[in-house]
Structure 1
Amino acid sequence: MDRAAPRPVHFSPDAAPDAGLVTLLGDVARAVGDVPALLELARAAGAKAPLPGQGRTSTLWELLATVAAVDVAAARIFEPHFDALAILAQSGVDPVDGHGEGRGKEPGQSRGAWGVFAAEGPGARLEAKAGDAGILLSGSKPWCSLASKLDSAVITAHTVTGGRAAFAVDLRHPGVTCEEPAWVARGLREIPSGTVHFSQVPAVPLGGDNWYFSRPGFAWGGMGVAACWLGGAVGVARDYRDSLIAAAESGREPDQIALAALGETDRILTAAFQYLARTAARIDAEAGATAGTGTGGAKPATGPSEWSEALRVRGTAASAVERVLALVTSNRGPAPLAFDEQYAKRMADLALYVRQHHGMRDDAQLGKLTLKEGQPW
């Protein structure tokens, strides 16, 4: 069947038509699978996208969800670039000269494509030490998606004081070596994540020890990922709805089971997006109330409460995605998984991406915080 033209995902009550977003969607759809082209689109979009906590958080999350609805892997490229720009802004570092020099870029132009590498893994440790030339990074960092194709990254490393801190790093430095991972997954095949090795690589500090994890933006970034998950589920839901319409047009009306699955999908996604919109509005309201307090308009860290909200949002989104995947795949059967490339790719990409949520372990963390902090209910 013919694919409908990509369309935006809107969940905030004040969303308005955006011609630029429609154009971006067409560009993303044409660039699916072309990583360099998607990186360039992410860089261009990042120059115009709002930052979280500055009054237009819902617009940012709608943009991420919209890209994911077109192609989950594309969102997996856009989201870390946007997150890196937000981290740099929150730290007061200009992305143009995040490494102490601008390499001839025009004023206000972001220096290439960015990633965010904060994962830890057994047998891999990255350390930051002060030297005559400033902070130098040495060691290894796992789960560095697309490192060989990026220009720069925000990276966390262990410090001599026993904490972890964030740094801006030039990935084109000769001391950086990117492994080519043996990526056997069928999902996110164009975005493999491997280990990167650093040898005396200069780095620009972003905040002090543990600033990266204690800032409100850490929770905001985690919720931006949830927006991508939900956007991917929208793509799956649209595929399902379109398949029912196509079947009806060919004389095969959907039965009650198929309609019930579509109805449940609708209410699940609607509820999840309403929660996301409410959370975005709260973030902007609280951040706006602290503007001019020396925090750059961002709400000061108040302990785990901000992360509690992130855990709620991420858990709600992950559960919604898992249920939508189950509903749609059980009702559509094996044929589209076997013969519809776009649908099969979307299902595989989203199933892998949502595994960034840690399931019951994240719920256990939220339960612990609920005992300590109380609860909104």
Structure 2
Amino acid sequence: MVTADATTPARPAPELEGSGSAWGPDALRRAVADRFLALTAPDGAGRAGGPALGDVPLPGSGRTAERFLVLYGLGREDLCVARLVEGHLDAVAILDEVAGPRVEPGERWGVWAAQPPGPGLGARRVDGRWVLDGLKPYCSGAHSCTHALVTADSGEGRRLFAVRVAQPGVRPVPGSWRAIGMAGSDTPDVEFTGVEGTPVGEVDAYLRRPGFQHGGIGVAACWLGGARAVAETLYASARRRTHDAIAAAHLGAVDMLLSSASTVLERAAEDIDADPLDALGGARMRSLRVRALAELVCTQVLDHVGRATGAGPLCHDPRHARAAADLAVYVRQHHAERNLAELGRLFGARDEDGKEEHR
């Protein structure tokens, strides 16, 4: 399925084609938004030279491996583009799973569900409608999405709402996204003032559904595509000349990491398709394992490639420098030791046969 093929180059990121391309964050954001718009257009597959997003299988459909392959390929092309497309595809899957509104051709959806410490976003009923007020951080595609699925705290608990982004009261906060890595993902805070939202599912339905875990592995597929993009500098060097023993060892390590992760990703897709509704209760542990492995692979690929190639590509190859910076930021969406601790607790709650103990 997903391979660490060293012979097929990724599609060049549009803003880096040619020697006169702009490098600033505003130019990156515009280029990524243009690519996102092209891919989500009704004729996006033909016009954008990319995947037909309307044909991307839902997770658990029996073709999950194809879904992960699309996300991997987009991550290899451009992690910022992958971040926006992943959010759109995740929104489509969520709305299908919890019977929300249908995504219409030409719409561009995001999933704005970050819940860091702070007052956050609140939801209240006003004359039979739900109204959202407050601040939502990390809203990828804030200036290019037409709609978003947004989590907000209600008096009943956390709920998910579908929001039309263009309505009055939705305001991206200027200067709140100053990232260098993932600059093009356009992920500022967004202020909501009296914004009408349509509830999607019941309280906590967003987190309880099996697809939440499947979607987390889709993000890991994007990360691994980004790792493959970073590794391209090392693969390209191997095609041009014979490596010394040290460089060859780094190349071998990178190839082992990426091919092993590919195998795990493919197995995860098979397991999701075999139990899409998580009747066996293994989805959370699967997601934690795959995401933790993907994070480890990405950080080690960054390290191996940097040690093998030195500072040269980071200083003189804008595509490589951006791929490395983007991956270093995006993979931090993994919660590191917190997720590993949860995985350890889940493992400890299983009996010798690998089944959960009922205590």
With normalisation by structure 2, the TM-score equals: 0.85
Q: Which residue of 2 aligns with 1:241?
A: 235
SS at match of 1:147: coil
Q: Which residue of 2 aligns with 1:61?
A: 68
Q: Which residue of 1 aligns with 2:122?
A: 127
The residue type paired with residue 335 of structure 1 is G
Question: In 2, Cα distance between the equivalents of 1:72 and 1:312?
Answer: 22
The residue type paired with residue 131 of structure 2 is L
Q: Which residue of 2 aligns with 1:316?
A: 293
Question: In 2, Cα distance between the equivalents of 1:320 and 1:308?
Answer: 18
CA-atom RMSD in angstroms: 2.1
SS at match of 2:243: coil
How far did 1:376 drift? Answer: 4.5
Q: Which residue of 1 aligns with 2:134?
A: 139
**Could you say which structure has the greater relative contact order, defined with CA pairs below 8 angstroms and 6 or more residues apart?**
2
CA contact (8 A) 1:42 1:81 kept: no
Q: Percent identity?
A: 38
How far did 1:149 drift? Answer: 2.3
CA contact (8 A) 1:223 1:313 kept: yes
Which moved further from structure 2: 69-78 or 205-214? 69-78
State which of 335, 339, 348 in structure 1 corresponds to 2:316. Answer: 339
Q: Which residue of 1 aligns with 2:154?
A: 159
* Alpha-carbon spacing, 1:199–1:186, altered in 2? closer, same or farther (3 Å): closer
CA contact (8 A) 1:167 1:206 kept: yes
Which moved further from structure 2: 365-374 or 164-173? 365-374
What whole-Å deviation, never above 9, does each CA across 1:255-275 have from its counterpart, x for those lacking one?
111111111111111111111
Q: What are the equivalent positions in structure 2 for 1:122-271 lying under 5 Å apart?
A: 122-161=117-156, 163-246=157-240, 248=241, 253-271=242-260
Q: Which residue of 1 aligns with 2:34?
A: 37
Q: Which residue of 1 aligns with 2:49?
A: none
The residue type paired with residue 59 of structure 2 is P
Q: Which residue of 2 aligns with 1:90?
A: 97
Q: Which residue of 2 aligns with 1:274?
A: 263
How far did 1:229 drift? Answer: 0.6
What whole-Å deviation, never above 9, does each CA across 1:157-187 have from its counterpart, x for those lacking one?
11212x2111111111102121023433321
SS at match of 1:281: helix
Q: Unpaired runs of 5+ in structure 1?
A: 1-9, 13-21, 97-108, 288-298
With normalisation by structure 1, the TM-score equals: 0.81
SS at match of 2:212: helix
Q: Which residue of 2 aligns with 1:76?
A: 83
CA contact (8 A) 1:95 1:110 kept: no
Question: In 2, Cα distance between the equivalents of 1:46 and 1:279?
Answer: 21
What whole-Å deviation, never above 9, does each CA across 1:65-123 have from its counterpart, x for those lacking one?
01111222221121111111111111112334xxxxxxxxxxxx335211111112333
How far did 1:373 drift? Answer: 3.6
What whole-Å deviation, never above 9, does each CA across 1:327-375 have from its counterpart, x for those lacking one?
0011100111111111111111111111111211110111112122458
How far did 1:131 drift? Answer: 2.3
CA contact (8 A) 1:214 1:301 kept: no
Q: Which residue of 1 aligns with 2:24?
A: none
Q: Which residue of 2 aligns with 1:292?
A: none
